[in-house]
């Protein structure tokens, strides 16, 4: 794998292992990783909870640089982002591991992987950007697992994307420390942040993390960056779908982040270690959407279901349907060349082009390089 730029920028210990910056030495000799609030304290040879960061030669290294669990071209609506280059294809990929431990993980085969052999595909940042360009994508998304844990690789890819006029999209749980957060989001154009619930109890019991740092990330994005971001809450029956919790969550979003931040309520399906709750009934999503709209949010969506009403974007001034959308597929398009309502001229917040993309809802697997066995 050719990595001229990366080689100039990073110290490589092996083909896919690089030195990192966010850590410090403890008095007892261990090294503490400072990327996320989990603050893993590691001895030589140990790996952090995320599995891809490890202690080696008295420092924290990233062991999955340039390696991926596979590439797919998705509609940008699948991230989900409804106000960012609608209808366009995005080259999506993940690595292995995760810094959260969600019992309901919908990508657990990747995020809980303890086998770096899961990372069968290889791509240097420039190759990845070139592949996105070649396949007609407008952006590259770090998704399937949280890019926070491989931030050095994600940043290099974002820079390569920008050189080609492509955008970089982070799909993250927002569980990150302040200093790396600044560096990471300086290179991102858009993000979808999971706000998994609105109670510390849920975060502690079902994700092994905490709510506070996630709320800090959301406020940081809103008030200190120009990153376009949307929020997703996966509604799990019996765990985070109480009207009172959704009332508090949407009230907080409106008060702290403003009414224009899109909020997506998406449907859960039983997976990984959480198989008891049933799939989310569509009416639960619709109820949540109505609560959030009543609390002042302008753009509230239902997801992972067929729901033209809940999936579409409406003008906040005249009420017309501006973008018809049903499970990632666009229909109506009433946004003018400036990104305004075609009927009354009201501004639609987001990143829009004069015409929508035509990717539809299909997924397409893409192979870059397969690792050789052995």
CB of 22 to ligand SF4, least distance (A): 8
Cβ proximity to ligand SF4, 55 vs 235, nearer residue: 55
**Sheet containing strand 17-19, strands side by side:** 12-14, 17-19, 59-62, 53-56
Cβ proximity to ligand SF4, 213 vs 310, nearer residue: 213
Cβ proximity to ligand SF4, 82 vs 209, nearer residue: 209
Is 39 a binding residue for ligand SF4 by CB under 6 A? The answer is yes
Among 3, 20, 53, 122, binds ligand SF4 (CB under 6 A): 53
Among 18, 31, 40, 61, binds ligand SF4 (CB under 6 A): 40
CB of 59 to ligand SF4, least distance (A): 12
Tell me which stretch binds ligand SF4 (CB under 6 A): 48-56, 222-230, 262-270, 321-329.
48-56
Strands 329-333 and 321-326: antiparallel
Is 149 a binding residue for ligand SF4 by CB under 6 A? The answer is yes
Buried b (16+ CB within 10 A) or exposed e, 141-173: bbbbbbbbbbbbbbbbbbbbbeeeebbbbbbbb
Among 6, 10, 18, 48, binds ligand SF4 (CB under 6 A): 48
CB 25 within 8 A of CB 44: no
Is 167 a binding residue for ligand SF4 by CB under 6 A? The answer is no
Cβ proximity to ligand SF4, 46 vs 135, nearer residue: 46
CB of 152 to ligand SF4, least distance (A): 11
Among 6, 18, 31, 35, binds ligand SF4 (CB under 6 A): 35
Report the site for ligand SF4 in 97-126 (rule: CB under 6 A): 99
C-alpha count within 13 angstroms, C-beta hemisphere, residue 144: 25
Backbone angles phi, psi at 220, to 5 degrees: -60, -50
Strands 121-122 and 67-68: antiparallel
CB of 46 to ligand SF4, least distance (A): 9
Tell me the two tokens of residue 171: 């799909």
User: Which residue has tokens 């950007």?
Assistant: 129
How far is it, in rounded angstroms, from Cα 204 to Cα 211? 8
């Amino acid at each position: 794998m050719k990595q001229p730029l990366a080689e100039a920028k990073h110290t490589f210990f092996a083909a896919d292992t690089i030195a990192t910056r966010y850590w410090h030495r403890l008095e007892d000799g261990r090294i503490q990783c400072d990327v996320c609030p989990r603050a893993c304290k590691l001895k030589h040879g140990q790996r952090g909870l995320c599995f891809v960061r490890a202690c080696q030669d008295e420092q924290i290294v990233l062991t999955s640089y340039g390696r991926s669990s596979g590439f797919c071209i998705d509609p940008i609506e699948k991230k989900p982002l409804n106000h960012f280059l609608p209808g366009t294809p995005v080259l999506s990929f993940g690595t292995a591991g995760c810094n959260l431990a969600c019992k309901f993980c919908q990508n657990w085969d990747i995020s809980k992987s303890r086998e770096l052999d899961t990372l069968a595909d290889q791509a240097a940042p420039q190759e990845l950007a070139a592949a996105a360009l070649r396949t007609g994508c407008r952006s590259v998304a770090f998704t399937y697992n949280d890019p926070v844990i491989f931030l050095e690789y994600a940043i290099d890819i974002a820079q390569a994307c920008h050189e080609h006029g492509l955008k970089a999209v982070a799909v993250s749980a927002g569980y990150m420390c302040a200093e790396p957060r600044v560096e990471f989001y300086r290179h991102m154009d858009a993000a979808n942040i999971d706000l998994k619930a609105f109670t510390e109890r849920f975060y502690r019991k079902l994700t092994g993390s905490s709510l506070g740092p996630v709320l800090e990330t959301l406020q940081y994005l809103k008030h200190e960056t120009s990153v376009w971001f949307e929020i997703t809450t996966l509604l799990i029956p019996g765990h985070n779908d109480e009207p009172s919790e959704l009332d508090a969550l949407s009230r907080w979003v409106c008060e702290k982040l403003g009414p224009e931040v899109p909020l997506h309520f998406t449907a859960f399906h039983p997976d990984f270690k959480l198989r008891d709750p049933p799939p989310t009934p569509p009416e639960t999503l619709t109820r949540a959407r109505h609560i959030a709209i009543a609390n002042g949010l302008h753009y509230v969506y239902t997801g992972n279901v067929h729901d033209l009403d809940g999936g579409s974007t409406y003008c906040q001034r005249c009420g017309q349907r501006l973008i018809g959308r049903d499970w990632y597929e666009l229909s109506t398009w009433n946004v003018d060349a400036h990104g305004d309502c075609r009927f009354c001229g009201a501004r639609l917040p987001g990143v829009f082009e004069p015409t929508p993309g035509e990717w539809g809802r299909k997924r397409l697997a893409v192979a870059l390089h397969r690792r050789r066995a052995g």
